[in-house]
Chain A
């Protein structure tokens, strides 16, 4: 396999393949950082892949009180879906079930400048059963929904922008714990503004391919080319000799650049943390228009 080496890491001559998505950013605030985290964790639960969860979501970053609309501690959450309508449904469900229910929270739109918008509080307000009220503050409408604790404040609409989903890195090593350590280091380096890593801890061990060889009804199935246990029985295996465990990090980003730079940070962090092999998953260019060749990430910058 051609490619390049980065210290003790072999980087495959491969590319990550990504596709267009739509995203929204929620700014969740609460009386203290703990409750803001609780709301964010709950709102981003069961949101690893659009294949099974209809939405991909993750905590983007924590926000100090000075950076939130109401001056309370907060968390920024990114939600990604395949289209605007789907995103609207998922955001409504998650804010209604996971944020409104969480003590002391409020929910604001993190993309106030976006032209395309979907209803949030405009739909959720009906929970107020006629007792809800709205306020327009600095040109933005917010809904006050009365709840047992006081009031839940929620933005009338959410901005929606075009994003990129499906960027990825596949990180391997001879030992499972070494591969996991390297992947964890990559996750740590990749997290930040504009990036969502939707899988548990940012890492997925069951990377998938589109469709299935045997079961035609499946939308996705195991990526057999990257399963070390199948190395001997899959003719076109992509698992190099000596690699016994691989972990994938899937990256959704607010732009192509955000995904590329996150991949760059992750690749170099994984290499420094002991990865022996790094590659990326793609589907021969058939899945999406965004390609991120690992060769372009050689420089740490």
Chain B
């Protein structure tokens, strides 16, 4: 039976929940489990005070409740599966390196920030800098996959170096800001000013989008890699219209204010 942590009541301050990792908790006896300390505001609070604990870790950890005051859930995760039934706070899966996080609810800001590997799947909306870079860091996400079945806030994929971000809804303004490489797909369309300073990254908009002046129209074609990425998005649980798999996409190359090896692909019927 999966180890389940059901939230008793809302904490009085924000909680840093990074210690809630399946591998770490799975190595503990039940008595020790309840005594795991989490930072809650200026205090350290025992896990047993915050959550009702049941089951045992079988590689999976289930968190239940409204966890919007819990930051850093799954941050730095390396293995195992973490499922959250409810919304999460900020820094969900930040710097995660492996394993899988599935959230059946929304996520706050910095979800998947500086992520290095693994899979982050969110059935809801996410805040700003999804898969983005932390302030001062040149590179953001450097590996792994993020599947967001909802809308993303501003600057999704900012500074991204590698990996795949698929947004089922719309991406907020500034997606792919100073992107180094990697792919951000917005099935509901990209917001304004996408791809500013993009070096080699790929931004994809399945809705009308007006690229920044640093982009030049190249061609209309069927990108074979995009078809594979869209199929991958299907496998990750996103609803991808069959027509997108066979559609032509308009390629805009840029940002010529930077290296200019990046691209924005816009669904042809929307792209000219």
Chain A residues engaging chain B, CB cutoff 8 angstroms: 69-71, 106, 131, 133, 135-138, 142, 144, 150-153
Contacts and interface: CB of A to CB of B under 8 A. Distances in A.
A135 B229 CA distance: 9
B151 to A, nearest CB: 24
Contacts of A106: 224
User: Chain B: interface secondary structure?
Assistant: mixed
A70 B227 contact: yes
Contact of B200 (A69, A133, A136): A133
Contacts, number: 49
Contact of B223 (A71, A131, A150): A150
B232 interface: yes
Contacts of A151: 221, 223-225
Contacts of A131: 261
A70 to B, nearest CB: 5
User: Chain A: interface secondary structure?
Assistant: strand
A70 B261 contact: no
A144 B222 contact: no
8 smallest beta-carbon distances between A and B, as pairs? A153-B224, A150-B221, A135-B225, A137-B228, A106-B224, A144-B225, A138-B232, A70-B227
Nearest to B224: A153
Interface string B152-167: 0000000000111000
A71 B246 CA distance: 10
A71 B231 contact: yes
A69 B230 CA distance: 12
Nearest to A108: B228
A70 B232 contact: no
A153 B225 contact: yes
A138 to B, nearest CB: 5
Contact of B162 (A69, A70, A136, A153): A136
A152 B227 CA distance: 13
B53 interface: no
Given A71-B245, A151-B221, A135 B227 contact: no
